[in-house]
Amino acid sequence: MNMTNKEYSKFVTDRQPHSPVVKDTLFAFLFGGGICLLGKGLTELYMLAGAAETVAKTCSTISLIFLSGLSTALGFYDKIAKVAGAGIVVPITGFANSVVSPAMEFRSEGLVLGLGAKMFIVAGPVIVFGLISSVLYGIIYWIAGVI
């Protein structure tokens, strides 16, 4: 066998098993939709309990974050995510999991340098680039207002 790296790359790609895209997409749709439905249901419940709509929406978001953190701590979030994929990762539930899981993981390296410092190794970039894009959006919004 005498292959260049380019030929080998083709040799591998031709034989490589692929992720089940249709199944993954379907489950992502169902779980993602399910989480949105749960959020909507919670909002309605909070409104029934007398909260104003904006307050109810905030409470619903907080509840989803709590549930995600709790299921991560209890060790079954990752098992759901294996099936649900992007359906559970993309909503706010994914963000909560990405903060809680490293916090648990690095607890063994201490409260400050472990949990505290490494809590944002996954979510950090989301925060950084989220802030940058919100600033950019603000500038564009302001320019548009001046014009």
Partner 1 sequence: MTKRLGRSTVAFGNPPCIRANACVAGKKEGEGPLGNSFDIVNNDTSFGEKSWEKAESRMQELVLAKALSKAALSPPDVDMIFAGDLLNQCIGSAFALKDAEIPYFGLYGACSTMAEGLILASAAVDGGFANRAAAMTSSHFCSAERQYRMPLEYGSQRTPTAQWTVTGAGCAIVTAEDLGGAYVTHACVGQIVDAGVKDAANMGAAMAPAAYRTITDILDQSGSAPEDFDLIVTGDLGFFGGELLREMFELDGVELLNHTDCGEMIFDRESQDVHAGGSGCGCSASVFCGEILNSMRAGRLARVLFAGTGALMSPVSTNQGSSIPCIAHAVIVSSTR
Q: Determine, following the binding rule CB under 8 A, whether residue 106 of this chain makes contact with partner 1.
A: yes
Binding of partner 1 by 22 (CB under 8 A): no
Residues of this chain, 114-133, that bind partner 1 according to CB under 8 A: 122
Contact 67, 58 (CB under 8 A): no
Using the CB atoms, write b or e for 45-73: b if 16+ within 10 Å.
ebbeeebeeeebbebbeebbbebbbebbe
In the complex, least distance from residue 47 CB atom to partner 1, rounded to whole angstroms: 30
- Residue pair 99/68 in contact (Cβ under 8 Å)? The answer is no
Neighbouring CB atoms inside 10 A of 10's CB total 12
For residue 85, the minimal CB distance to partner 1 (Å) is 5
Would you tell me which residues interact with partner 1 (CB under 8 A)? 1, 3, 5-6, 8-9, 11-12, 15-19, 24, 72-73, 75, 77-78, 80-82, 84-85, 88-89, 94, 97-98, 100-102, 104-106, 108, 122
